Amino acid sequence: MQTVMKYFGIGMLLIHLQPLIVNAELVKQKGKGEVNYRFTVGAADERAAITEAKKNALTRFAASFDGPRFELYKKIETTVLENIDQYVTDYTELDHQTDTTVKRYRVFIEASINSTLIESAIQKSSGQAGMDAGGQKAEKSYITFVFVARELASQKIYNAKRTTVDRTESSDRGAETSKVADDAQSAASSLDKDSMVKRTTGGNTEIKNDEVSYRVTTVSEVDNAVNAVLTKAGYETVDAGDAGLDVDGFKKDFSGGNDIAKLTRDAAVKNCKEKEIKFFALANMDIGLPQKDEATGLIRVYVAVTAKVSDLSPKFPKTVASLAGIPYAGLGPDPQVAKQNALNEAAAKSAADLVDQLRFKNVH
């Protein structure tokens, strides 16, 4: 009976641990470690080289972080490296070398890095929304967002208009000569003329901006991706409709330009303040034309994101995070799938980048 209960207890423990295992995101990264040895390579030297390789893999992984995230990681780097086995769950040894000339042992591995644990460590170090200065739970900060996707619908290109002005001036000059005949009874006169023409050319060139119009939409997958990132960071997200935002107004403004009208923004800020929503995030996602990816043969689409997060708690809203045309790519077997993958990638990564900027500035 005790044996049955023992296995039952282990089974229940595994059931409780399963969500943690599923949610853990493992990233593969190669690493190199080397140590000097005295006489021959022993087991201790091999273990030391493996540890250095794990640290090297983690350092290479962190090097891929963007600015704000890398700065956040640097705050916890020492602690992470001191507990390297907690963050590198397992590894595969690819090769090892022994240099007897300088008595150096090298090992090359492919490490599995638990990026979820690193994210958790960054959150604890930098603080997150819904946490007070002592790290205790507090009331979460409300945030609402509008992410609109747009692609080129039409473009009218104007040729340069050239206006030319010509002015011609002419003048004649000459000398009159007279000649008397030999019989002194008659005389003849003539006029020699010298003609000059002067031409002046001028004018101007007028260049008009192209007229561009976009198809603007909101995508539920994009909203879900952004919402997941913000929720994970500890923010209480509010649907744009529930916040009273005129989403159609944002779409209309972005269909013909790169910014929103003052009236649209003022109304959004007013509604958010009335509902005590602290942060407002706005982004437009420009979808590029499909291209063939030479490496994979798939279709690749780029999405460039321009975004801004405003803190509405002061008397006047202030920008606390922003992105300026950051490109993200998506691949797929056809343009539609590639576009959707690019939008999902752009939504998740741009939202994460904005959150990192807020954390770096200790804005919660």
Residues 6+ apart with CB under 8 A from 338: 290, 298, 299, 300, 301, 330, 331, 332
At 271 the pLDDT is 92
Give residue-wise pLDDT tens across range 1-40: 444 444 444 444 333 333 333 345 788 999 999 999 888 8
Contact at 8 Å (CB) between 46 and 105? yes
Is residue 301 assigned to a domain? yes
Q: Find out whether 230 and 140 touch, Cβ atoms under 8 Å.
A: no
Amino acid at 227: N
Domain count along the chain? 3
Same domain, 264 and 188: no
Residue 73 placed within a domain: yes
To the nearest whole percent, how much of the chain has pLDDT over 70?
A: 73
Torsion angles phi and psi, residue 290, rounded to 5: -65, 140
Please identify which residue in the block is written with the tokens 């291209």. Answer: 291
Angstrom distance (rounded) from CA 59 to CA 65:
10
Higher pLDDT: 188 or 232? It is 232
DSSP-assigned letters across all residues of 44-92: HHHHHHHHHHHHHHHHHHHTTS-HHHHHHHHHHHHHHHHTHHHHEEEEE
Distance CA 179, CA 190 (A): 9
Please give the residue that has the higher pLDDT: either 254 or 137: 254
pLDDT of residue 129 exceeding 90, the answer is no
Pairwise CA distance, residues 4 & 116, whole Å:
34
Same structural domain, 145 and 47: no
C-alpha to C-alpha distance for 80 and 110, rounded to whole angstroms:
18
Domain with 314, as residue range(s), is 139-156+210-360
226 and 110 in a single domain? The answer is no
Can you tell me the mean pLDDT for 171-196?
Answer: 60
189 and 258 belong to one structural domain:
no
| Of 340, 278, 316, 308, nearest in space to 142 by CA | 278
What mean pLDDT is predicted for residues 263-292? 92
Q: Is there a single domain that holds both residue 250 and residue 340? A: yes
Q: Do 355 and 221 belong to one domain?
A: yes
Q: Is 107 inside a domain boundary? A: yes
Banded model confidence at residue 315, pLDDT cuts 50, 70, 90: confident
Q: Identify whether residues 174 and 260 lie together within a single domain.
A: no
pLDDT of residue 4: 40
Q: What pLDDT was estimated at residue 309?
A: 94
Cα 181 to chain center, whole Å? Answer: 100
Burial class of 187 by CB neighbour count within 10 A (0 to 12, 13 to 18, 19+): exposed
> Is 129 inside a domain boundary?
no
Q: Has residue 3 been placed in a domain?
A: no
Most confident among 62-71, 251-260, 303-312 (mean pLDDT): 303-312
pLDDT of 219 above 60: yes
CA gap 57, 108 in Å, rounded: 10
| Reported confidence tier of residue 201, pLDDT bands at 50, 70, 90 | low
Rounded mean pLDDT of the chain?
80
Contact 250, 261 (CB under 8 A): no
This prediction has a pTM of 0.65
- pLDDT tens for each residue of 68-110: 888 888 988 999 999 999 999 899 999 998 888 888 999 999 9
Which of 95-99, 119-123, 222-226 has the lowest average pLDDT? 119-123
The CATH number that applies at residue 241 is 3.40.50
Among residues 185, 206, 227, the one where a domain terminates is: 206
Q: Is residue 4 part of a domain?
A: no
Nearest CA-CA partner of 234 in 132, 304, 317: 132
Residue positions counted in the chain: 364
Helix, strand, coil shares, percent, the chain, to 5:
35, 40, 25
Q: Are residues 246 and 196 in the same domain?
A: no
The H-or-E segment that residue 137 falls in is none
Note whether 193 and 79 are same-domain residues.
Answer: no
Query: Tokens standing for 314?
Result: 């002061």
Closest CA to 222 of 112, 351, 95, 310: 351
Residue 12, domain member (yes or no): no
Instruction: Specify the higher pLDDT residue, 220 or 8.
Output: 220
One domain for residues 230 and 277: yes
131 falls within a domain: no
Query: Rounded to a whole number, what is the distance in angstroms from the first to the last CA of the chain?
Result: 53
> 202 with 278, same domain?
no
Q: Are residues 77 and 187 in the same domain?
A: no
| CATH at 118 | 3.10.129.140
